[in-house]
Amino acid sequence: MQKHYWNEYQKEIAADRYFYARSCIRQTFFPGSETAFLKILQDELGKDIYDSADQHTCSGIGYHGDVVPFLTTSTVIARLFSLMTEAGYKNYVPSCITSFGLIVEVLDTWKHFPETLEQTRESLLKATGRTFEIPENVAHPSDIIYKFRNELKSKMKYQLIEKSTGRPLRGVEHIGCHYAKVFPDKGVGGAEFPHVLAGMIESWGGEVVDYPERRHCCGFGFRNYLVQANRGYSVSNSHKKFESMAPYKPDFIIANCPGCAMFLDKWQYTIAEMEGKTYDEQGRGIPVFTYEELAGLLLGYDPWKLGVQIHQVQAESFLDKIGIEYNPDEKYKGASGEELEHPQKPSVLKV
Amino acid sequence: MIENILDRLKADIRFQEGLTSCMNCGICTAICPAAEFYKYDPRVICNIVQSRNINEIEQLLKGDEIWYCGQCMSCKTRCPRGNAVGMVITVLRKLSQETGYFVESEKGRQQFAIEKAVGQNIINQGYCVHPDIATYENHPEQGPVWKWYLDNIEELSTKMGAIYKQRGAGALRDVGEENLDEIKKIFEVTGGMAFYDNIEQASQKAAEELGVDFQEEYFMKVYSENSGNHNR
């Protein structure tokens, strides 16, 4: 009998009453994904999830960019926990993978070195007069979608199946490094066999692509993207992944880290401009989605309200394969209904 | 020479947790994306740190190597002893900045750009990253759709349910002065602001030594300069 190693790494995922901590990167590049996540939880699943107006960054990009010291970061996170405590919640849901990994690191440090927890409590009190409770449960939003993937499937209008042939669509799943590489027991399936996104693809009718560089980093590398001089590192890593996955002819990519989703999308444009190369047969690139976008599309949400038109690799090839209905006339309209000037076309990547 | 360099390394919990008796098997180097791209070898970093040779550790703090790591932490996943070289790197980088040694290398000097962009944005906007700082001019690799989004951000982000620069709950909201004040106080109380100041002061001195105008030119120099001597 085949052994499923990912089964050995299961984590507790709270079932309801969540405090939602937004992500700097997801808000910046995928604002519609955070909107969709709240809509899915509230409208489809009937869950209680709280979105605080007073929340802020966890400082994680600054921490991993090495300009924010650990005590500062842990105290900024403690302020977020204080907002959660104040609102009466105990289950913390950080939208960002960097944030998720950092919070797991901070909690682990507090557990094994209790003096650091005391130092953080004292710092927060001195700076803000605030106190906080440690969350009872920390889960990434992708964990929650994974937990309810079958319940969501029953509400979905579409499946990951090609309409014209009945073929299951092939999906590349890319897990953000900080989801489970440091603390494997905090991720569904651990670091080597993460199942959090694969489980969604399989449950929703698709087929997961296994390829040699499946667990390779997207190449964000914090300072390696933040500083213009270092971006060769970043694009080279994504390039390595595209070269490795392309022979398997993926229909789409999904990622649970907002940075990874953005890089795997945008670097396809950059590589096309640099080398004239695209990674699908039609020259349109491989569409990349967040898990919220994928769930939203299958639930029948308007693609343009989800925000897939602000990806550089356009989504229509994917929508058409499944037969997802959309109105092309609405694509370039703003919130006011006014038609906006269209974006410039890339020189290589077809749109 | 910083006399207590070893004590300062060992005092950091992340150093204690990140490196316990490395046997130099090199699996960290085999899995490391930075080792494939740069002249970088995490196994050697562990070896040097473990040797307790103060002169060699000091050279690490002054050099480019410690700045190559991308913090993906793949090393932690594969190390048979559970070490995390990426975490050791974090501690070395912290010490390099505290001692001011970071300005002695091209990659180290880039910390000024990160402090100015991400670091100050945390204080000023309450975000590490925000569309306002990811300008198309500094990010042409983002492509024409990103430019289109930025040019029409209010119309488009509102369509996607965001509340760009407004107070309230929602994506891209204005974080609010009362929250920003508390973040700033946290940075003051915990040494975050002093850490920023130290980066700025050392960078200003470095700019003078390099003969570069600190106010007008230094940011773009460290942000965009690449000597081309870093890759394999």
Q: What pLDDT score was predicted for residue B16?
A: 87
| Residue A290: strand pairing partners | A255
Residue B214 Cα to chain centre, angstroms: 20
Reported as half-sphere exposure (CB side, CA atoms, 13 A), residue B6 has a value of 9
Residues A265, A155 share a domain:
yes
Q: Read off the tokens for B77.
A: 């996943």
Residue A175 domain boundaries: 142-330
A119 plus A205 within the same structural domain: no
Which residue, of A110, A141, A172, is where some domain finishes? A141
Tell me the CA end-to-end span of chain B in Å, nearest whole number. Answer: 31
B77 neighbors A191 (Cβ within 8 angstroms): yes
Residue the block writes with tokens 């906006």: A340
Total count of domains within chain A: 2
Is the residue at A172 inside a domain?
Answer: yes
d(CA B196, CA B215): 16
Q: Strand, coil or helix: what is A94?
A: strand
Contact yes or no for A8/B138 (Cβ under 8 A) = no
Mark which of A108, A141, A174 sits at the end of a domain.
A141
By DSSP bridging, strand A170-174 and strand A207-208 are parallel
Number of Cβ within a 10 Å radius of residue B216: 9
CATH of the domain at A81: 1.20.1050.140
A156/A282 same-domain check:
yes
Co-location of A147 and A242 in the same domain: yes
Q: With the CA atoms of B161, B164, B170 and B171 taken in that order, what torsion angle do they form, in degrees rounded to the nearest 10?
A: 80
> H helices of B110-191, where?
111-114, 120-125, 144-151, 153-159, 177-190
Q: Two tokens at A225?
A: 């993207």
B137 close to A (CB below 8 A)? no
pLDDT in tens, B42-83: 999 999 999 999 999 999 999 999 999 999 999 999 999 999
In this structure, the answer to whether residues A83 and A177 fall within a common structural domain is no
Alpha helices, DSSP H only, in A113-214? 114-128, 141-147, 149-153, 177-180, 196-203
pLDDT tens, position by position, B172-189: 999 999 999 999 999 999
Q: Is A290 helix (H, G, I), strand (E, B) or coil?
A: strand
pLDDT value, residue B187: 98
**Distance in angstroms (rounded) separating the CA atoms of residues B101 and B197:** 15
Task: Dihedral sign for Cα B40, B43, B46, B47, please.
Answer: negative
- The Cα A339–Cα A175 span in angstroms is 36
- CB–CB contact A223 B114 (8 Å): yes
Residue B1: per-residue pLDDT: 56
Instruction: Enumerate residue ranges in chain A where pLDDT < 50.
Output: none
Is there a single domain that holds both residue A185 and residue A276? yes
Q: Domain check: are A106 and A197 in the same one?
A: no
Contacts of B221 in chain A (CB under 8 A): none
Q: Is residue A134 part of a domain?
A: yes
**Dist CA B141 CA A262 (whole Å):** 11
Which domains does chain B carry? 5-107 (1.10.1060.10), 110-127+175-227 (no CATH), 139-174 (no CATH)
Question: Does A281 map to a domain?
Answer: yes
DSSP B142-161: G-HHHHHHHHTHHHHHHHTT
Q: Is it the case that residue B144 has pLDDT exceeding 90? A: yes
**Do A219 and A154 fall into the same domain?**
yes
pTM (global) more than 0.90:
yes
Last residue of a domain, one of A86, A113, A141: A141
Using pLDDT thresholds of 50, 70 and 90, give the confidence band for residue B232.
confident
A-chain residues near B128 (CB < 8 A): 24-25, 57, 59-62
Helix/strand/coil percent split, chain A, to 5: 50, 10, 40
Residue A190, classed as helix, strand or coil, is coil
**Does A266 contact B113 at a Cβ distance shorter than 8 Å?**
no
CA distance A182 to A246: 28
The sheet with strand A49-51 has its strands ordered as: A49-51, A18-21, A91-94, A137-138
In total, chain B counts a number of residues equal to: 232
Q: Is residue A85 part of a domain?
A: yes
**Helical (H) or strand (E) element with B223:** helix B218-224
Angle among Cα B220, B225, B230 to the nearest 5 degrees reads 150
Q: Name the residue facing B74 among A71, A217, A307 (closest C-beta).
A: A217
Tell me whether residues B199 and A181 touch, CB distance under 8 A: no
Q: Does residue A306 lie within any of the structural domains? A: yes
Cβ atoms of A176 and A196 within 8 Å: the answer is: no
Residue in A with minimal Cα distance to B106: A229
The answer to whether residue A231 is domain-embedded is yes
- B143 Cβ partners below 8 Å, 6+ apart? A266, A269, A270, A312, A346
Instruction: Tell whether A161 and A132 lie within a shared domain.
Output: no
The two structure tokens encoding residue A184: 């494997």
Taken in order B90, A239, B131, A95, is the CA torsion positive or negative?
negative
Which CATH number belongs to the domain containing residue A270 in this structure? 3.40.50.11810
Contacts of A192 in chain B (CB under 8 A): 77
How far, in Å, CA of A182 to CA of B75, rounded? 9
CA nearest neighbour of A40 among A328, A300, A337, A252:
A300
Chain A contact set for B185 (CB, 8 A): 127-128
Residue-level pLDDT at A227: 98
Do A198 and A286 fall within a single domain?
A: yes
| Mean pLDDT value across chain B | 96
Cβ(A208)–Cβ(A171) below 8 Å: yes
Question: Is position A340 within any domain?
Answer: no
- Going A67 to A71 to A73 to A75, the CA torsion angle's sign is negative
Helix (H, G, I), strand (E, B) or coil at A133: coil
The answer for B 17-76 residues in CB contact with A (under 8 A) is 17, 33-34, 37-38, 67, 70-74, 76
Check if A274 contacts B (Cβ < 8 Å). no
Interface test with B, best of A38, A68, A84, A237 (most B CBs within 10 A): A68
> Are residue A36 and residue A60 in the same domain, yes or no?
yes
Q: Is B227 on the interface with A (CB under 8 A)?
A: no
Same domain, yes or no, for A126 and A256?
A: no
Residue written as token pair 């995928």: A30
Q: Which residues contact A302 (CB under 8 A, 6 or more apart)?
A: A326, A330
Please indicate, yes or no, if residue A213 is contained in any of the structural domains: yes
Half-sphere exposure of A325 (CA within 13 A, CB side): 4
Query: Are A272 and A235 spatial neighbours (Cβ–Cβ below 8 Å)?
Result: no
